[in-house]
Amino acid sequence: MSVINHEKVSEFFKALSHPTRIAMVEELLKNKKCVGDIKEFVKVRQPNISQHLTVLKAGNIVDCVRDGKTRCYFLKNPKLMEKILNMLEDMRAESCQE
């Protein structure tokens, strides 16, 4: 039997607790994105994007690679994120049927 690290699980779900960050995760499921690319689809200012990415990184959801001065972000575990987003969509669909 495995032991759950409650702190890490809490940080993970806190990182997903903002609509902008969920939108970022959805977009990162498609492929790696640089901050400029992310700015195009979330429609928030770059400093705000950086703050959200910092939270996602602290939650162990994303990581980044540097290409010169540019940082490009990717999901650390895209299969897990896809499962979670599908589960949330299923929950939303079920609640709409009630």
CATH number, domain of 41, equals: 1.10.10.10
How far, in Å, CA of 29 to CA of 77, rounded? 10
* 47 φ, ψ (degrees, to nearest 5): -60, -35
Q: Is residue 1 part of a domain?
A: no
Structure tokens at 72: 């490009």
Q: What is the token pair recorded at 21? A: 């960050």
| 2-59 confidence digits (pLDDT tens) | 788 888 888 899 999 999 999 999 999 999 999 889 988 888 898 999 999 999 999 9
Local structure of 4: helix, strand or coil: coil
68 within domain boundaries: yes
Triad 12, 17, 22: Cα angle to 5°: 90
Give me the domain span that covers residue 93: 6-97
Question: Using one digit for the tens of pLDDT, what is the confidence trace for 50-85?
Answer: 999 999 999 999 999 998 888 999 999 999 999 999
